[in-house]
Chain A
């Protein structure tokens, strides 16, 4: 079957760094994406990894290890507005169809 596991909740203070892990088990693998979703809103694309290694986009970075079926999202210089849910999502093939993880609720405190 398919499964993507993430921690359910993470709390951090403003200005800190937080890492959200994602382990996946899928029938195929084409790429791993990360999305941010605020309450009541739609997911917003953050980062994408198709190959092993680190991708950096401003304060957000994402890492992938295909051999370990593992990835993480790194958020630096946390701001209050970063409080949201974060989802990892796997594309099993080139169809752009996404399988989402369970989601991690990030709470940033002053």
Chain B
């Protein structure tokens, strides 16, 4: 079964609105989670590192005020796309690592369509 769960799987929102995507670690605590974005037929690009209890670390070129990340508990990180535009339409995926060990697990992903 899944060890990292994302919700929602699909979301359609109107341009200018905000949408929140949740990433949960199941049966384990994740002090660090990662958010990736994948446009159709392209690779996964790291957006940010979500740190429990502290500010997220954003990759170069990712607007922190547009992609708000909150990691308020050891099992939940949220990504909020604010003032969404059609170009934000993409597949958003989170990941977390089960310790001990070094296997990185991905959530099921969330398809965002902005109309």
Please choose the segment from B11-19, B64-72, B105-113 that sits at the chain A interface, where 4 or more of its residues have CB less than 8 A away.
Answer: B105-113
Please choose the segment from A11-19, A65-73, A75-83, A94-102 that sits at the chain B interface, where 4 or more of its residues have CB less than 8 A away.
Answer: A94-102
Task: Name the prevailing secondary structure of the B interface residues.
Answer: strand
Are B93 and A98 interface neighbours, CB within 8 A?
Answer: no
Q: Residues of B contacting A98 with CB < 8 Å?
A: 34, 36, 44, 46, 95, 104
Q: What CA separation (Å) do A43 and B109 show in the bound complex? A: 9
Q: CB-defined interface of B4-16 with A at 8 Å, one 1/0 digit per residue?
A: 0000000000000
Are A96 and B97 interface neighbours, CB within 8 A?
Answer: yes
Q: Residues of B contacting A48 with CB < 8 Å?
A: 102-103
Q: Is B75's CB within 8 Å of the partner chain A? A: no
Are B102 and A31 interface neighbours, CB within 8 A?
Answer: yes
Q: What CA separation (Å) do A100 and B97 show in the bound complex? A: 17
Residue on B nearest A89 in the bound complex, by CB: B44
- With both chains docked as a complex, state the minimum distance between the C-beta of B65 and any C-beta of chain A, in angstroms: 22
Q: Is B43's CB within 8 Å of the partner chain A? A: yes
Q: Is B115's CB within 8 Å of the partner chain A? A: no
Complex interface residues of chain A between 17 and 55 (CB less than 8 A to chain B): 31, 33, 35, 40-45, 48, 50
Q: Residues of A contacting B32 with CB < 8 Å?
A: 95-96
Are B104 and A33 interface neighbours, CB within 8 A?
Answer: yes
- With both chains docked as a complex, state the minimum distance between the C-beta of B22 and any C-beta of chain A, in angstroms: 15
20 contacts between A and B (CB under 8 A): A41-B108, A41-B109, A42-B106, A42-B108, A42-B109, A43-B93, A43-B106, A45-B103, A45-B106, A48-B102, A95-B32, A96-B97, A98-B46, A98-B104, A99-B46, A100-B43, A100-B44, A100-B45, A101-B43, A103-B43
The residues of B with any CB-CB pair to A shorter than 8 Å are 32, 34, 36, 42-46, 49, 93, 95, 97, 102-109, 111
Closest A-B pairs by Cβ, 5 of them: A42-B109, A100-B44, A96-B97, A42-B106, A100-B43
